[in-house]
Each structure stands twice: as structure tokens, then as C-alpha cells.
Amino acid sequence: MLDIVSVKGIKPYQSSAWRITIIFSALVTLIIGTLLLGMYRQLMNEQELQTNQHLAAETARYQQMALTLDKSSFAAQVKAADPKTALIVWRSSLDLIGALSLIPDDMPMLPKTRDFPILTAGPDKLHILTGGLVMTRYGPVLIATRTDQLATLIDRFVNAAITALMLTIILTLALGYLFSKAILRRLVQYNHLSQLIEKGEYSTRLPVSWRHDEFDMLAGKFNRVLDTLENNLLAVRGATDNIAHDLRTPLSHLRIGLEQLPDKTSQDLPEACAILIEKLDHCLATFDAMLSLTRIEEGQQTLELQDFSLKVLCEDLYEMAEAMAESNEQTLTLTTSDDVQMTGDKYLLFQALFNLVDNAIKYAGEGAKIEIVQQGNEIQIRDNGPGIPDEEKGRVFERLVRLDPSRHNQGTGLGLSLVKAILARHNAKVNLMDNTPGLIVSITF
């Protein structure tokens, strides 16, 4: 996968996921750093406060002792002081008494303090003490306390904080890198598949994982677009085949007819020519229907909008189709109620509706009862013929689909596609329903 990543030109560190990672880890570092700094300061303050309180308490104690005890008792107290709580050094007139063998110079008077190092014989040879001088009636007393343990603690804390910070940065960056690489891998996969599609492998689909994340949603959408495209392509392919078939047959008849023309007697000639012209007209009509269907479907044909009444449209429809039904020994009835005025291309809509009625007359069979029912904004064309099986209902509006596989019935096979396209341009809904028996075509504007 890595080679594909590099081959496609985009490297993980160039990806947006990586940029987000960088920003994210910088933010995390900043937040954690600020928190640690705050804690560090708090600790330092706390330490100072404790040291000062401790020293102040010791100071008060020794001042008190100097006042109440005599000199030797005071010396004993100084010597007996627990070095863990405080280191006390008293400079008596002769020498230093206490825990330390010296009093550093420049020690300030308490409560001011100063840090100073001392050497001991123990394992940790160098210690840092904090302390100051107190004047008693027996002379200056140095009161100091060890702070280096606390300092060590703080040092450790700082070290730990820095380590944690570094780990955070490294971890977020590493995870981010892997994350962006994973995203890129999917993108590269998509890229790869889209190249396959570009090359003509239209059945290729993007993988959709169980994660249902935004990539899967995108892939799902993309797959649906591909489904539509593939269907359209198949439809076009099918249509091309059908056109070839539809035109080849009359064209080959024409050819045969023309070849036979010279052998016709002058008496038969006009009839023979007329037949050929009829065949040619049929081819031309198929062409025209194809063209106007494409134009209406693709919106190239501008609609001639005008106001008209649905009731009047249905009445015209009835008037035109009545004689046709009659000649097929069918009955055609018209029922209208709640007239609706609408705006649209009256002629195109009439053509579409006429097509539907014409189909009912053609396919419902002799003696059938056909109804045109207009109620409000709905027009239904009902018949009690054989109807259309449910599984075929979706197909009838496709281009050049004829449910009669022999393609025996005259017609271009485009009528219903044209109906669908015209109605779609008028935002009308078409529904095919069962009339048990028969078919109901319902159109709602």
C-alpha cells in the first residue's frame, strides 16, 4: 500500500489529516504544558510557604527558649534539636554549637531567607539549606531547614512532566501519521477504482465498510451515482440496439421493395411506391420521436406555457379518442369534476395524455371499457383490459421497451417514454395501478 501512496503523489505528511494532527498535537502540548506550568508554580509557592512557616515557628521557639532558659540549657536545647525538623547553629562566645560547623556569611535576618549549600559525610554529599539568622540574647542563631528533598521532588515532577509532554507529542504525531495514512489509503483506493471506471469498467463499486463513517457515506453515494450511470448506459446501449432493430427492419423492407420496383407492371407501380413511402414515413416518425424525446428529456425544448383547464383538456381528449374506441368496439367514457386551471404546455400535455388513451385503446382489447376520469388535479385513464404485471410496471416507461417481445405492434416504442418526459417537465406524478382487471394510469399535477 505504501508504494501506491507514494506513487499517487500525495504523501501522508501532505494530507489534511496530517495537518489536523499537527495542529491537534500542538494544541494538546500547549494545554498540557500550561497545566504543568501552573502545577509547578503552585508547588513552588507551597514549598516556600511551608519553609517560611516552619522557620517562623522555629524562630519563635528559640527566641522563647533564649528568654526563658539559661545559657547552658539553651546550648543543650540547640544541640538536641532534631536535624530533620530544623538545623540550628548558635554562635556562642567561644565556638559554634549545633548541627553545622559554620555559619555562612551574609545570612539575612529572618524572616528573610537565603539558600546555601553544605557538605555532609553521607551518601548525598551536597545539600541545599534555606535559612536565616535570629538574634537572641545569647547571640545570633542560624535556623535552617533542608529544602533539597522538596527540590528533588519538584525536579522529578518537572522531568516527569517533560517526559509526559514528549510522549504526548510523539504519540499524537505517530497516531496522526498512521491515521492520515489510513485515510489516504482509502482515498487512494477510491482514486484507483475511479480510474478503473474511467477506463470503462462500469461495474466497479467502491467498498463500503462496517464503520458507516463519512467515507462510507461518500462511497455509498458514489456507488448510487454509478448505479444510475450504469443503468443509463445500459439503457442507451439497449436503445441503440433497439433503434438498429426498429429501423433495420423497415429499411430492409424498403430496400427489397425498391429492388422489386422495376419488375412491377405500370398498374401495380403506384401502390408499390405508396407502400414504400409509408415504410419510410414510419422510419422518419421513429427518428422524430427519438429526437423530440431527447429534447424534452434534456430540457432543450422550451415549453410553450399557457393557462388552460384540465377539464377542457380531457374533453378534447375524449372527443379525439371517442371514434377510435368506437371503431374498436370499445366504450370510452369521460367523467370530470372540480375543474383545475393550470399553466403548462397544453399541446405537449395533450400529446402525452392522448398517448395514454391511445395505448389503452390499442391494448385493452375488443369490447373493453375505457374511462377518462378527471377529478381536481388528478387525471386517471382506466381500462379493464389485460393490465400490466407488477414486475413490468417499472419498465414500460423506458425507452423503446415494448412488452410485446415480437415488436409486432406498430409503434415507435417511444410513446410512453415521451409521456414520462413530458409529465416530468410538468412536475406531474405518474402512477400505474391495478384496476383488477386492467390498468389505471394516474397522473397528478
Partner 1 sequence: MKILLVEDDATTIEYVVKGFTEQGHNIETASDGHQGLLLATSMKYDLILLDRMLPQLDGLKLLAALRATGSQTPVLILSALSHVDERVKGLRAGGDDYMTKPFAFSELLVRAEKLMQRGLSQPAETGLVVGNLMMELLTRKVTLNGNELMLQPKEFQLLKYLMEHPNQVISRTLLFEAVWDYHFDPRTNVIDVHIAKLRRKFEELGFGELIETVRGAGYRLRQGN
Q: Give yes or no for residue 268 binding partner 1 (CB under 8 A).
A: no
| Residue 407 amino acid letter | R
Tally of CA atoms within 13 A in the half-sphere of 375 that contains its CB: 6
Phi, psi (deg, nearest 5) at residue 2: -60, -40
CA–CA separation, 379 and 387 (whole Å):
18
Q: Give yes or no for residue 7 binding partner 1 (CB under 8 A).
A: no
What cell was used for 108?
539575612
Q: Which stretch binds partner 1 (CB under 8 A): 143-151, 173-181, 267-275, 373-381?
A: 267-275
CB of 236 to partner 1, least distance (A): 21
What cell was used for 56?
517562623
The correct pick among 159, 347, 409, 434 for binding partner 1 (CB under 8 A) is 347
Q: Give yes or no for residue 275 binding partner 1 (CB under 8 A).
A: yes
Q: Which stretch binds partner 1 (CB under 8 A): 14-22, 77-85, 157-165, 294-302?
A: 294-302
Q: Which is nearer to partner 1, 89 or 310 (CB)?
A: 310
CA–CA separation, 135 and 96 (whole Å):
15
DSSP 234-281: HHHHHHHHHHHHHHHHHHHHHHHHHHHGGGS-TTTHHHHHHHHHHHHH
Q: Which is nearer to partner 1, 145 or 412 (CB)?
A: 412
For 349, counting Cβ atoms within 10 Å of its Cβ (0-12 exposed, 13-18 middle, 19+ buried), the class is buried
Q: Give yes or no for residue 302 binding partner 1 (CB under 8 A).
A: yes
The residues in 350-409 that bind partner 1, with binding defined as CB under 8 A, are: 350-351, 354, 358
CA–CA separation, 37 and 28 (whole Å):
14
Q: Which is nearer to partner 1, 169 or 303 (CB)?
A: 303
Q: Which is nearer to partner 1, 198 or 307 (CB)?
A: 307
C-beta of residue 90 within 8 angstroms of C-beta of residue 139: yes
Sheet arrangement for strand 87-91: 96-98, 87-91, 139-146, 126-136, 114-119
441 CA to centre of own chain: 39
Q: Give yes or no for residue 289 binding partner 1 (CB under 8 A).
A: yes
Q: Which stretch binds partner 1 (CB under 8 A): 50-58, 68-76, 192-200, 278-286?
A: 278-286
The correct pick among 155, 213, 268, 288 for binding partner 1 (CB under 8 A) is 288
The correct pick among 70, 326, 329, 338 for binding partner 1 (CB under 8 A) is 326
The correct pick among 412, 416, 425, 438 for binding partner 1 (CB under 8 A) is 412
The residues in 192-211 that bind partner 1, with binding defined as CB under 8 A, are: none
Residues within the interface to partner 1 (CB under 8 A): 271, 273-278, 281, 284-285, 288-289, 291-292, 295, 301-302, 304, 316, 319-321, 323-324, 326-327, 347-348, 350-351, 354, 358, 411-412, 415
